[in-house]
């Protein structure tokens, strides 16, 4: 189905029954990148997948992305499909920023948060000249599109990047969908726009942490793919400590953890709804962790 939010047509897929769980994929990815997760999760949850503007089948972006804007987008999409109860929000990669922002800005609508190999930026600063960055992304996208790059190389680039980001093989997405989505200039332009504003979104999230607390009753789980290396895993562990979250290392798994280990994602969603949240500090920026100052950990 397609629903309009702020005048932009968003592609949304709803499956299953039960409490709502929203799945939001990383930069340049599409709704079908959650395909391995849905059959495992839909018997227990109403699973909502959507494409951000310029991604998947959604219309092009009308404005540059912001952390607050993406949080409000999730809320508006839930309103549009009539899902008014608390939802578990699952964010992969850059969408981890969006999931956390949603929890901070819409606490009453947040049942739990699962961060799937989320982007981490501990000291991001807001870059200058956002309008120039937007213009540069659009000029670059226009030039590449005029040269026929999306149609010629888009699907091949998608296949190559997915293979590099996995430990479990190649791209399982159907060839017709890959051509339909990644052969378009719309998706190239959408990925470029999110990429040039990545630092700004990260910096905005740091500001939101200082002003808005995570909801006390909403457990947070951080999943880290071990293929990222020790330093990456350590940063994910630190993120869990900051948020008062449960921390799980997933091995073997690459950055596209939902393709390599869909079972781990589903387990985090279902476990999160059935346990008490970790205690959190009263200030909005940091969360307390388990005994001894360490996040509760596990390896799957």
**pLDDT the model gives residue 284:** 37
Q: Is the pLDDT of residue 133 over 70?
A: yes
Minimum mean pLDDT range among 13-27, 120-134, 286-300: 286-300
Q: Is the pLDDT of residue 157 over 70?
A: yes
**pLDDT the model gives residue 278:** 57
* Contact of 29 with 259, CB cutoff 8 Å: no
**pLDDT the model gives residue 297:** 74
User: Tokens standing for 135?
Assistant: 């213009």
Angle between helical axes of 67-80 and 95-105 (0-180°, round to 10): 70
In this prediction the pTM is: 0.93
- pLDDT tens digits for 7-21? 999 999 999 999 999
> What is the average pLDDT score of the chain?
93
**pLDDT the model gives residue 290:** 36
- pLDDT tens digits for 165-191? 999 789 999 999 999 999 999 999 999
**pLDDT the model gives residue 36:** 98
Minimum mean pLDDT range among 41-45, 189-193, 211-215, 284-288: 284-288
Q: Is the pLDDT of residue 23 over 60?
A: yes
H-state helical runs in 7-129: 38-41, 67-80, 95-105
Q: Rg (Cα) of the chain, in Å, rounded?
A: 18
- pLDDT tens digits for 226-247? 999 999 999 999 999 999 999 9
**pLDDT the model gives residue 273:** 67
- pLDDT tens digits for 278-292? 556 544 354 433 333
279 contact partners, CB below 8 Å, separation of at least 6 = 244, 287, 288
300 or 105, which is more confident?
105
Mean pLDDT, rounded, for 147-153 = 97
**pLDDT the model gives residue 21:** 98
Q: Is the pLDDT of residue 276 over 90?
A: no
Nearest alpha-carbon partner for 56 in 159, 155, 152, 190: 190
**pLDDT the model gives residue 285:** 53
**pLDDT the model gives residue 277:** 53
DSSP 224: E
At the top level of CATH, the class of 2-125+201-299 is: alpha beta
* Contact of 200 with 129, CB cutoff 8 Å: no
User: Tokens standing for 267?
Assistant: 């387990």
- pLDDT tens digits for 194-208? 999 999 999 999 999
**pLDDT the model gives residue 300:** 77
Instruction: Evaluate the omega torsion of the peptide bond into residue 106 and state whether it is cis, within 30 degrees of 0.
Output: no
% pLDDT > 90, the chain: 89
**pLDDT the model gives residue 287:** 40
**pLDDT the model gives residue 272:** 78
Nearest alpha-carbon partner for 272 in 222, 210, 232, 201: 222
């Amino acid at each position: 189905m397609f629903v309009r939010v702020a005048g932009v047509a968003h592609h949304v897929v709803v499956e299953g029954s039960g409490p709502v769980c929203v799945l939001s994929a990383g930069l340049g990815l599409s709704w079908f990148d959650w395909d391995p997760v849905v059959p495992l999760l839909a018997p227990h949850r109403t699973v909502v997948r959507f494409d951000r503007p310029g991604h998947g089948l959604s219309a092009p972006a009308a404005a540059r992305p912001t952390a607050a804007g993406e949080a409000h987008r999730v809320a508006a999409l839930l309103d549009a499909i009539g899902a008014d109860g608390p939802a578990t929000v699952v964010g992969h990669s850059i969408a981890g920023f969006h999931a956390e922002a949603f929890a901070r800005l819409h606490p009453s609508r947040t049942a739990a948060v699962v961060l799937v190999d989320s982007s981490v930026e501990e000291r991001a600063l807001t870059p200058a000249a956002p309008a120039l960055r937007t213009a540069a992304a659009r000029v670059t996208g226009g030039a590449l599109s005029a040269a026929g790059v999306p149609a010629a190389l888009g699907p091949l680039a998608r296949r190559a990047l997915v293979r590099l980001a996995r430990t479990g093989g190649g791209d399982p997405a159907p060839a017709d969908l890959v051509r339909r989505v990644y052969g378009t200039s719309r998706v190239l332009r959408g990925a470029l726009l999110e990429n040039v504003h990545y630092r700004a979104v990260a910096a905005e999230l740091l500001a939101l942490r200082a002003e808005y607390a995570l909801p006390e009753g909403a457990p947070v789980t951080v999943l880290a793919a071990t293929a990222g290396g020790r330093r990456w895993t350590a940063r994910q562990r630190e993120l869990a400590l900051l948020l008062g979250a449960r921390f799980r290392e997933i091995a073997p798994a690459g950055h596209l953890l939902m393709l390599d280990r869909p079972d781990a994602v589903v387990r985090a969603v279902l476990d999160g709804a059935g346990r008490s949240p970790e205690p959190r500090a009263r200030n909005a920026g940091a969360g307390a962790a388990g005994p001894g100052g360490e996040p509760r950990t596990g390896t799957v």
